[in-house]
Chains A and B, each alone.
Chain A
Amino acid sequence: MRFSIYQESKKGGRKNNQDRMGYCFTRDSLLMILADGMGGHVQGEMAAQIAIQTIGANFQKQATPMLRNPQRFLESSFLEAHREIHHYRMVNKLPESPRTTVVACVVQKGTAFWAHAGDSRLYWLRGGEVIAQTRDHSKIQSMIMQGLAAPSEIETHPERNKLFNCLGSPSEPTVELSRKMTLRPGDTVFLCTDGLWSVVSEQAIASAFAGNTVMRAVPDLIYLALLEGGSRSDNVTGMAMTWEGSDLSEDSTGISTLMMPLGAMTTTIQTTRRTDLEAASAEALSDDDIEKAIDEIRATIQKSNKLIPK
C-alpha cells in the first residue's frame, strides 16, 4: 500500500482537548480512528481515549497483516469500546458513564470500509469534490431527513448538539457501517470532529485537498476552523489519508508499506488498556523521578570517570 497520512488536533478556546485520534497500519491494512469525547457529561476525554485504545488494540491483534472481515471488525470493536467505557465507569464509580463519538476507517486491498457513531464525520473526496460522507447521528440530522428542518440549519439549529447515538450511552449504540468502497489513486479520506465541520463548509474542505498534500491541507483546515471558531472555538481535530495505490512506484512522497516485514505494525496508538490504564499513572515518571534519575546517571558517570587512567 502507498498512502500519505496526516493528523492534527487543537484545543481551540476550550480548557482541555477531549478529541482523540490515531492510526495504525501493517503491510496490508490501515486503520484510522477519531473520537470526540462529549462535553456535558463526565470525563468525555476518557471515553474518547478508551475508544481509540480499544479499537486500536483490536486492530493490532487482528490485522495479521490483514483483517479477515473489516466490517465485522469495526462493528465488534465499536461495541467492545462501548463496554470498556461502562467498565471504566463501574471501576471508577462515576455517577454516569462518559460518552464519545467515534468515526473509523479501514483500508485494505484498495478498498475502504468505515463506521461511525455520533457526529464525527468522514468525507470521501475525489477531484476536489465530496463523493460520499457519513450522516450524523444527531437530532438535527434526523429532523432534516424527515423534512422538519432545512439542511442549512445543521450548523446553527439549537438542537444541533444533541446526539441520539454514541458510545458510552446507557443503551447499546448503533454502529453504522459503510459499504465496500473502492479507492482510486488520488482519493482522500478525511475524518474530522464537529469542531471542524460546523465552521468550515463542505466546499472549503473539498477544495483544501485539491492539489494539496494532506500535510498542508489538514493544518490549513484546522487553522481555518480555529479562526472561524474564534476565542470560543471547540476542539478541532482532523485526519486525512491520500491513497496512492497498491503498486510500487518511484515518485511516492508518502508511506509505502511494501517493504514492511509481515509481522510489523506502525502505530500512533498506544494500546495500554484496562488494568494498564489504571496503572499508567503509577508507571509514568513524575518530574521528581526524572530529576532523580538524571542525578543518578550523572553520579554514575562521575564514578566511572574516576576509573579512567588519565
Chain B
Amino acid sequence: MASQANAALPDGYELEGYRIVKKISSGGFSIVYLARDELDRPVAIKEYLPSSLALRRPGELAPTISDENLPTFRIGLKCFFEEGRALARILHPNVVRVINFFRANDTVYMVMQYEQGRSLQEHILKHRERGDRKLVGERFIRMVFSQVMNGLREVHTNKLLHLDLKPANVYLRSDASPILLDFGAARQTLQADTGKLYPMYTPGFAGPELYEKNGSLGPWTDIYSIGASIFACMSGHAPQPADARLLNDKMASKYRDLADTYSEELLGVVEWCLRLDPLARPQSVFALQKALLERTPTQPKRSLLRTLRRFMRSLLPRGLRGSDPTSTISMNTR
C-alpha cells in the first residue's frame, strides 16, 4: 500500500552483530537489507514486516501492531518460519543459503548469504538496451534453467513452493551459475495449510491458479513461472498475464515470432509449461527437466527472408532497430 509503506531500519544500524549497509528491496511481506557481519562479510538480512499488519514510522525500530492484527501477524510469522525452516535444510548451490535466524525489534530476521552478481532480469535488460538481436542464447537459457530447476527440485522436495519465480528472483553469479532468491511469496506450503494471507504474485509470471483465492497450487504453479521466465529471456518481456489469456489468448502468435530464433524443441517446452490448465503442464520439475534434455535442439531454421531482414536492420542506426521501448519486463506489482 503506497500510503502505508513501512520505514526501513536506518543505514549503519547495529542488529545482533550485523551492521545494516542499506535497504535492497521491500515487498508487501518483508524488507531485505544488505548488511555486514562481524568479520565485515556481506550478508542479506530479511526482516518480517507485512505492511498491511504492522506499521513502522521513520525513526522507530519496533513496528506498531494493533491488537486486532496481532493474531494474523503471528500466523504470517508461521509462514516466515516455514520458509526459514525449509531453507535451513536446503544446502544446494542454486538455492540461497540461510546463515542465521533471530528475533529482535518485536519481529524476526533471516540472514542469508549475499552473492555478487546480477539478476537474470538485469541480464536480459542489458542485452535489450544494447539492441542485441538475440537477447539470451538458447545454450545459455538451457544451461541456466537446468540449474534453476535443480535448485527448484530441492525446494519442492522440502515441501516448499516458490510462487514468485521470475527473472528478477533468479540471481546470476559472475560465473553465470544461478541462485534462486526471494522466497517471499513461498508462504503456502505443499501441505495446503491455511490461506489466510493471500500469496502475492507478479502478472505475466503467475499461473492462472494464483489469481484465484482457492486455486490449487503445486509444483505445476512454479513450472508455469519457469516457462514464463524462459519466455522473458527469449522475447525481452513478460508473457501475456494469465487472466488476460483466459479471455483472449495471444501467446500462439508470440511463439511463432520466436520460431526463427529459438529451436522448435525449446519453444515446445515453454508452450507446455505455459498451458493454462495446470494438469496439462509438466507435473513435476523432474518431468520438465527430462523433456528439456530429450528435446535437443536442431539447427534453427534460417529463411532467406530472415537473413534479408537482419541485413536490412544492420543498416539502421541502433536506436531505430525496432525493439519496442515501451514493453518492459520490469512488471513488478509488489
Given A284-B74, A300-B88, A301-B98: A16 and B67 interface contact (C-beta under 8 Å): yes
Given A290-B103, A297-B88, A304-B91: A254 and B3 interface contact (C-beta under 8 Å): yes
Given A4-B3, A262-B243: A284 and B70 interface contact (C-beta under 8 Å): yes
- Across the two chains, which residue of chain B brings its CB closest to A20? B68
Contacts of B4 in A (CB 8 A): 6
The interface bits of chain A over 260-293 (1 if a CB of B lies within 8 angstroms of the residue's CB, else 0) are: 1111111110101000100011011100001101
A9 at the interface (CB under 8 A from B): yes
Inter-chain contact A300/B71, CB cutoff 8 Å:
no
Inter-chain contact A297/B68, CB cutoff 8 Å:
no
- Interface size, A (range): 35 or more
What CA separation (Å) do A266 and B333 show in the bound complex? Answer: 12
Query: How many residues in B have their beta carbons less than 8 Å from beta carbons of A?
Result: 42
A307 at the interface (CB under 8 A from B): yes
A294 at the interface (CB under 8 A from B): yes
A224 at the interface (CB under 8 A from B): no
What CA separation (Å) do A265 and B210 show in the bound complex? Answer: 12
Inter-chain contact B101/A285, CB cutoff 8 Å:
no
Inter-chain contact B194/A283, CB cutoff 8 Å:
yes
What CA separation (Å) do A304 and B68 show in the bound complex? Answer: 38
Counting residue pairs across A and B whose Cβ atoms lie within 8 Å, the total is 101
Contact residue among B53, B78, B84, B196 (Cβ-Cβ distance under 8 Å from A297): B84
Inter-chain contact B3/A5, CB cutoff 8 Å:
yes
- Across the two chains, which residue of chain B brings its CB closest to A7? B4
Contacts of B255 in A (CB 8 A): none
Inter-chain contact B211/A261, CB cutoff 8 Å:
yes
Contact residue among A260, A270, A304 (Cβ-Cβ distance under 8 Å from B88): A304
Inter-chain contact A294/B103, CB cutoff 8 Å:
yes
Given A268-B52, A293-B81: A304 and B89 interface contact (C-beta under 8 Å): yes
Given A263-B212, A284-B75, A294-B102: A255 and B85 interface contact (C-beta under 8 Å): no
How many whole Å from B232's CB to the nearest CB in chain A?
17
Inter-chain contact B241/A261, CB cutoff 8 Å:
yes
Contacts of A214 in B (CB 8 A): 3
B216 at the interface (CB under 8 A from A): no
How many whole Å from B97's CB to the nearest CB in chain A?
8
A71 at the interface (CB under 8 A from B): no
Given A9-B66, A285-B74: A265 and B198 interface contact (C-beta under 8 Å): yes
Contacts of A283 in B (CB 8 A): 71, 75, 78, 194
Inter-chain contact B101/A290, CB cutoff 8 Å:
no
B203 at the interface (CB under 8 A from A): yes
A308 at the interface (CB under 8 A from B): yes
A17 at the interface (CB under 8 A from B): yes
Inter-chain contact B67/A17, CB cutoff 8 Å:
yes
Contacts of B84 in A (CB 8 A): 297
Inter-chain contact A297/B101, CB cutoff 8 Å:
yes
The interface bits of chain B over 288-318 (1 if a CB of A lies within 8 angstroms of the residue's CB, else 0) are: 0000000000000000000000000000000
B192 at the interface (CB under 8 A from A): no
B39 at the interface (CB under 8 A from A): no
- Across the two chains, which residue of chain A brings its CB closest to B110? A297
Contacts of A163 in B (CB 8 A): none
Given A49-B68, A270-B196, A293-B81: A254 and B2 interface contact (C-beta under 8 Å): yes
Inter-chain contact B52/A267, CB cutoff 8 Å:
yes
Inter-chain contact A290/B241, CB cutoff 8 Å:
no
A298 at the interface (CB under 8 A from B): yes
The interface bits of chain B over 68-86 (1 if a CB of A lies within 8 angstroms of the residue's CB, else 0) are: 1111101101100100110
Contacts of B2 in A (CB 8 A): 4, 253-255
A259 at the interface (CB under 8 A from B): yes
A159 at the interface (CB under 8 A from B): no
What CA separation (Å) do A5 and B91 show in the bound complex? Answer: 44
Inter-chain contact B91/A307, CB cutoff 8 Å:
yes
Contact residue among B99, B211, B333 (Cβ-Cβ distance under 8 Å from A259): B333
Q: Which of B193-229 contact A (CB under 8 A)?
A: 194, 196, 198, 203, 211-213
How many whole Å from A261's CB to the nearest CB in chain B?
5
Q: Which 7 A-B pairs have the closest CB atoms?
A: A300-B88, A284-B74, A284-B71, A263-B211, A297-B101, A293-B81, A270-B72
Q: Contact residues of A with B, CB < 8 Å?
A: 4-6, 9, 16-17, 20, 45, 49, 60, 214-215, 253-255, 259-268, 270, 272, 276, 280-281, 283-285, 290-291, 293-294, 296-298, 300-301, 304, 307-308
18 extra interchain contacts, Cβ-Cβ under 8 A, other than A5-B3, A297-B84?
Answer: A4-B2, A6-B3, A254-B2, A261-B333, A265-B198, A268-B52, A284-B71, A284-B74, A285-B78, A290-B74, A296-B85, A298-B100, A298-B101, A300-B85, A301-B98, A301-B99, A304-B97, A307-B91
